[in-house]
């Protein structure tokens, strides 16, 4: 049984991206995976500060007092796969989610306590991305999709799929004719079975791909 963490990153807990998150959770559950879910706003309140001055003098750990530690050690690191559900905010990920990534800095830098364990614990996960946004213009989501590609590359993770739903008012995503809720459910159920390939010209592989 694999563990899937679904992170709802919108400040709207009953919004469109959370509807996509719910669908992905149902898909993951139906495939027999253990599903864990968090609202990011329960864990990330503080912005990254200047780590050099901000971290605890004794021990060197992050001293920002919110629930980030719990998110990282009890939810993110134990997960085999993570699905990020987010609204598009000004052509990027919402600030709280960006802050979640920014604050990893304070846990993976060499001077942080247990940084080797954190670095190891972040790797080799399957990643899914669910985006809800108003604009259907393809360029609107290019930036955030590229950023997720780079982040997963950096953390040695596999980006298994991206689902984009078009919607604005609460709940509208269920009316998107491209049926993103169905795609999100499929992403949840197939997260660990989707083959992710990223060849180089000298990658050793059989000629027959499938």
Q: Say how far apart CA 20 and CA 163 lie, in whole Å.
A: 9
Which helix (H) or strand (E) covers residue 69, if one does?
A: helix 68-70
DSSP string, 74-96: IIITT-SEEEEEEE-BTTB--HH
Select from 30-38, 127-135, 144-152, 156-164 the region that touches ligand FMN (CB under 6 A): 127-135
Q: Which x/- pattern over 154-173 shows residues binding ligand FMN (rule: CB under 6 A)?
A: -------------xx-----
Residue 15 binds to ligand FMN (criterion: CB under 6 A): yes
# residues near ligand FMN by CB under 6 A: 18
Among 40, 104, 133, 191, binds ligand FMN (CB under 6 A): 133
Residue placing its CB nearer to ligand FMN in the complex, 45 or 117: 45
Between 17 and 99, CB nearer to ligand FMN: 17
The C-alpha atoms of residue 173 and residue 181 are separated, in whole angstroms, by 8
Binding test (CB under 6 A) with ligand FMN, winner from 54, 70, 91, 114: 91
3-state secondary structure of 8: strand
Asked if 152 interacts with ligand FMN (CB under 6 A), we say no
Q: Residue 129: which of 169, 88, 89 has the closest Cα?
A: 88
Any residues with CB less than 8 A from the CB of 82 and at least 6 apart, and which?
4, 5, 6, 7, 76, 125, 126, 127, 128
Among 65, 90, 199, 200, binds ligand FMN (CB under 6 A): 90
List Cα–Cα distances, 94 to 13, 122, 152, in angstroms. 14, 21, 17
Residue with smaller CB distance to ligand FMN, 113 or 143? 143
Pick between residue 49 and residue 134 the one whose CB is nearest to ligand FMN: 134
Binding-site ranges for ligand FMN (CB under 6 A)? 10, 12, 15-18, 87-91, 132-135, 140, 167-168
């Amino acid at each position: 049984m694999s563990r899937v963490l679904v992170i709802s990153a919108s400040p709207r807990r009953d919004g469109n991206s959370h509807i996509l998150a719910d669908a992905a959770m149902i898909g993951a559950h139906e495939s027999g995976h253990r599903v864990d879910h968090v609202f990011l706003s329960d864990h990330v309140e503080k912005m990254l500060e200047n780590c050099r001055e901000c971290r605890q003098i004794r021990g060197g750990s992050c001293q920002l007092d919110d629930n980030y530690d719990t998110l990282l050690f009890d939810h993110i690191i134990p997960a085999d796969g993570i699905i990020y559900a987010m609204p598009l905010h000004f052509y990027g990920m919402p600030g709280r989610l960006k802050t979640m990534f920014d604050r990893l800095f304070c846990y993976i830098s060499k001077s942080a306590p247990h940084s080797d364990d954190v670095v190891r614990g972040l790797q080799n996960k399957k990643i899914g991305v669910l985006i809800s946004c108003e604009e259907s213009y393809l360029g609107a989501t290019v930036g955030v999709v590229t950023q997720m590609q780079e982040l997963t590359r950096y953390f040695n993770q596999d980006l298994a799929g991206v689902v984009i739903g078009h919607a604005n008012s609460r709940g509208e995503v269920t009316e998107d004719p491209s049926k993103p809720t169905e795609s999100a459910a499929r992403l949840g159920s197939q997260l660990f079975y989707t083959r992710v390939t990223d060849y180089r010209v000298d990658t050793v592989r059989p000629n027959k791909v499938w």
